[in-house]
């Protein structure tokens, strides 16, 4: 199906119905004015050109109205987070009631664990992937310690089998089957940051719930990349950042999901602030705490509007295109990338990401034998922006919003010469 030629790549770009999206992003350029080959949307997505306009609107309204901008701005700040809800819910496959944009990712995970990690002396352990993103590991270790448990005893790692890179769902099932009476929470990365493996979220939820464990998902590398269908999966909660595939800018706000089954449970323990109090009486100031239903009930503070404006600029693009079309292009683009890598005549490299398009997003993790960071440095010197992870993996993400088939072709041609 694929062909290892520039003509083929350029023809695919001509036939690509989403090719026009590339022109709507700022593509970094080298000193000669040529576009970088940018493959790190899995770390920081590129800036949509309309982002500046969206932020400028709020700056103008701040200048024009001052505090009255909360009600008089073109996009009133008081309910601004609600402008993001429907689009974000579609991206992660949730009901609007189940989603809110607030805080940052690890903060949200901690706030969710306040509610959904309720350990007892007998049932207190937490399951994570053995190679979970460090922030997740630190978060669950600190939660165990906060509740008075030993982090070595309380943390269970779901590991790949010896000689393998990818996780097997039957191994998780075995862990939970054998230790489920002691496990309070499964907190799993829906797409593993290192291997790019897209895990079966619904199956994970079923495994955890069969032993009365809560199940949470970190979608940092999933939101805007795969279609997690969170509501149908049945997971209890999830959280994700927006600065990777959702292109909202460095350190921008995160998203949060709480399943509808928990939406009206006011008895769930949680931290409180005035922004998860009933919006009808929020400004009365002297009412006892009355938590809002749904995901909004986990908010604490009024949101930073400038960050939300950047998120809205990106979400409006997702709303226009839709995840179905993005996933279709992603599978084809990443499939072409995989094909070209496999055409390289060397035993030094292998792709550790799943070869099944349904078990990965757009990221391919390329393991290079006897490599060190010098190879990554050489790629950078050739204006190819990838992500190096110790000890020997280059993570590359051809993002369907702005990467082209020609990008992929040119990147692999340069990689050949460096190898």
Distance, in Å, from the CA atom of 124 to the CA atom of 101, rounded to the nearest integer, reads 29
Q: 346: helix, coil or strand?
A: coil
β 99-102/254-258 pair status: antiparallel
120 is in an annotated binding site: no
Annotation-wise, does 346 bind a ligand?
A: no
* CA–CA distance, 226 with 363 (Å, rounded to integer): 11
Is 218 annotated among the ligand-binding residues?
yes
Euclidean distance between CA atoms 325 and 317, whole angstroms? 12
Question: Binding residue per annotation — 20?
Answer: no
Distance CA 244, CA 253 (A): 11
- How far apart CA 91 and CA 200 sit, in angstroms, is 17
Peptide bond into 391 cis (omega under 30): yes
Asked if 323 and 15 touch (Cβ cutoff 8 Å), the reply is no
**Residue 147 assigned as binding residue:** no
243 known member of a binding site: yes
Question: Does residue 158 have a known ligand-binding role?
Answer: no
The answer on whether 110 is annotated among ligand-binding residues is no
- Is 133 annotated as belonging to a binding site? yes
4 is in an annotated binding site: no
CB 38 within 8 A of CB 241: no
What's the burial of 120, exposed, middle or buried (CB within 10 Å: 0-12/13-18/19+)? exposed
**β-bridge mates for residue 351, sequence order:** 366
What does the DSSP assignment read for 304-330?
-HHHHHHHHHHHHHHHHH-HHHHHHHH
Dist CA 344 CA 339 (whole Å):
9
- Residue 314 marked in a binding site: no
The DSSP bridge pattern shows strands 125-129 and 183-189 to be parallel
**What angle do the packed helices 6-15 and 323-343 form, to 10 degrees?**
180
Q: Which residues are annotated as a binding site for pyridoxal 5'-phosphate?
A: 105-106, 133-136, 218, 221, 243, 274, 302
Q: Which residues are annotated as a binding site?
A: 105-106, 133-136, 218, 221, 243, 274, 302
């Amino acid at each position: 199906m694929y062909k290892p030629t520039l003509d083929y790549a350029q023809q695919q770009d001509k036939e690509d119905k989403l090719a026009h999206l590339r022109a709507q992003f700022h593509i970094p350029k080298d000193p000669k004015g040529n576009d970088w080959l940018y493959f790190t949307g899995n770390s920081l997505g590129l800036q949509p050109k309309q982002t500046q306009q969206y932020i400028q609107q709020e700056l103008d309204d701040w200048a024009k109205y001052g505090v009255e901008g909360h009600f008089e701005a073109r996009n009133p700040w008081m309910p601004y987070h609600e402008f993001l809800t429907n689009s974000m819910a579609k991206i992660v496959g949730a009901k609007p009631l189940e989603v809110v944009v607030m805080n940052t990712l690890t903060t949200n995970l901690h706030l969710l664990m306040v509610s959904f990690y309720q350990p007892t002396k007998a049932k207190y352990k937490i399951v994570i992937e053995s190679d979970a993103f460090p922030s997740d590991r630190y978060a669950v270790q600190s939660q165990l310690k906060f509740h008075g448990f030993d982090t070595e005893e309380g943390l269970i790692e779901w590991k790949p089998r010896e000689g393998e890179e990818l996780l097997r769902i039957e191994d998780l099932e075995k862990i939970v089957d054998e230790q489920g009476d002691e496990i309070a929470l499964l907190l799993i990365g829906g797409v593993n940051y290192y291997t790019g493996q897209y895990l079966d979220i619904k199956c994970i939820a079923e495994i955890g719930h069969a032993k009365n464990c809560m199940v949470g998902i970190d979608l940092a590398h999933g939101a805007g990349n795969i279609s997690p269908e969170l509501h149908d999966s049945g997971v209890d909660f999830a959280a994700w950042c927006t600065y990777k595939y959702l292109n909202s800018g460095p350190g921008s706000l995160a998203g949060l999901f709480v399943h509808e089954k928990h939406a009206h449970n006011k008895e769930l323990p949680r931290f409180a602030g005035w922004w998860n109090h009933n919006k009808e009486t929020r400004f009365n100031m002297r009412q006892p705490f009355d938590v809002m239903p749904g995901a909004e009930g986990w908010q604490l503070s009024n949101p930073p509007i400038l960050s939300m404006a950047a998120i809205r600029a990106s979400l409006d693009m997702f709303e226009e295109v839709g995840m179905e079309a993005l996933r279709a292009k992603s599978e084809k683009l990443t499939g072409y990338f995989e094909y070209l890598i496999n055409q390289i005549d060397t035993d030094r490299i292998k792709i550790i990401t799943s070869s099944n398009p349904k078990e990965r997003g757009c990221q391919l993790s390329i393991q290079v034998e006897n490599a060190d960071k010098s190879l990554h440095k050489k790629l950078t010197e050739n204006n190819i922006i990838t992500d190096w992870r110790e000890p020997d993996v280059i993570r590359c993400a051809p993002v369907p919003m702005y990467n082209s088939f020609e990008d992929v072709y040119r990147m692999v041609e340069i990689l050949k010469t460096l190898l």
